[in-house]
Structure 1
């Protein structure tokens, strides 16, 4: 596939919610002729004032550019817009930055094939305000030639990471990383709730919590190696030791009237790891619990 990034590649953005507007704005700031379309045309007013072209129809929007970026409410909404267009996508690269799951992303790649063009799936790991900055990370999966052809144009949105030819990878990473995010945030909220029972403000608790979060971050590469090797040496602490501390967290939460559902669930998973013979293993052995379908437990 020819590299289109020698100049300012024309781009179309379909879907102008908060994220879609941020995407189109980033392309405009980078100097790309940008065509936009949204069911509610009024959402394009600010972008048009910045130099964007408002297409009269979704078909006109697709036809306007060799690179078409879609960011709508869900995958089915994308299909409702694009499936009726027939071969208008021929010769174009379609980048879908709509949130979903890996299964739906792979199904969408199959459904998109008859429409012509080349399909890339993507996932945005950023809030709208970060789009166009170094803080925005966007994941892409699908044919590498298509990604390579428009890599510098897509870099207008933020740091782009190509994951591989499997269209489902970007969505898979997305939900996996959201799980990491929620686990960290929920742990902080649990801790802040506990500290708050002693009159400690969350702003006072936060710097110490961040120190622990940074420490745990440093453990991740070593845990990853253990997981890949399938060996879990207790270099720092055993699961048995962790289990004792988890019991303290459950009891403290219950005693102070703080919701104990999350620590109880974590302790239940850890109890099962001990039952499975991992009491003397390092904490990375907990991966075996997360790999097991929920209905298979116990």
Structure 2
């Protein structure tokens, strides 16, 4: 029988354990605080008293904790020799690389993952997970990991799955915060989130065309301003900031965006395109290296 252990039963870990039960796996679960495994145990999951016991129960352990440091704490007393850890916890690429080394020193194989859906999407069509680490280990356990979501292998570097994931999160969080900024302005003017939702959907859908159009220019460092000049963008952002201010809504996040574009204009790039933003966003060391 296929076996897997789940380390960590927050909403994501619970969804992962449920998906494995749905797929007919023998599932062992562990969580630091009691009570989160009740429904899973009722469905047939085995409760481990310790994380070490959970790791011992299966060759593959899927880790879903707050970060890498929490995994170190949870697994400190576990015998990892010959085991496979698939750490799907969010963290930064360098910490993922360090954790892979930590696992190797203890005889374990280590895969890093970045989950691209919320808990409700686990095991459902459209779910995807970035995975990186040793290719042969991924190949051996791909079928088990695909139970959670279609895996997208990003190579042997254990940091790459987290890099791709954090890139997605960069876009997600700025867009999601922008949604609430818009809702706050709407509410200040007597509108509701429901009133602007259709237009938010249109804007979100249209972003794909902006990404596709700007990617070649960004990769070529092409400052062509035919489609969008920084001066035009800066003026538009000023209007957004003033609309928020006139509505009595906090402008801190919007002002930061506007300042970036204005910096480009002040540097003499007003007639150039938005690819100029990359130079403004790069660290001085990275800019010099290019």
TM (norm. structure 2) is 0.91
**Deviation, structure 1 residue 127:** 1.6
Partner of 1:229: 220
1:58-110 CA-partner distances (Å, limit 9, x unpaired): 2222122111111123322211232333xx32332210112211121111111
Partner of 1:159: 150
Whole-angstrom CA distance in 2 between matches of 1:293 and 1:161: 33
Can you give the 5+ residue segments of structure 2 that lack an aligned partner in the other structure? Answer: none
TM (norm. structure 1) is 0.89
Partner of 1:4: none
Paired positions, count = 286
Whole-angstrom CA distance in 2 between matches of 1:196 and 1:36: 44
Contact 2:17 2:29 in 1 (8 A): yes
CA gap 1:142/1:202 in 2 versus in 1, 3 angstroms: same
Does 1:187 find its partner at 2:186? no
Whole-angstrom CA distance in 2 between matches of 1:60 and 1:263: 50
Within 5 A, what are the aligned runs for 1:166-177? 166-177=157-168
**Deviation, structure 1 residue 26:** 0.6
Partner of 1:198: 189
Contact 1:83 1:115 in 2 (8 A): no
CA gap 1:130/1:275 in 2 versus in 1, 3 angstroms: same
Partner of 1:105: 96
Whole-angstrom CA distance in 2 between matches of 1:190 and 1:93: 43
Question: Structure 1 segments of 4 or more deviating over 4 A?
Answer: none
Does 1:36 find its partner at 2:52? no
**Deviation, structure 1 residue 24:** 0.8
1:104-128 CA-partner distances (Å, limit 9, x unpaired): 1111111111111210111222221
Which residue of 10, 13, 36 maps to 1:17?
10
Contact 2:217 2:275 in 1 (8 A): yes
Partner of 2:115: 124
Report SS of the residue matched to 1:89.
Answer: coil
1:129-182 CA-partner distances (Å, limit 9, x unpaired): 211112422211111111111111111111211112111122222322222112
Which residue of 239, 248, 252 maps to 1:261?
252
RMSD, aligned CA: 2.0
Whole-angstrom CA distance in 1 between matches of 2:46 and 2:192: 49
Can you give the 5+ residue segments of structure 1 that lack an aligned partner in the other structure? Answer: 1-7
**Deviation, structure 1 residue 268:** 0.9
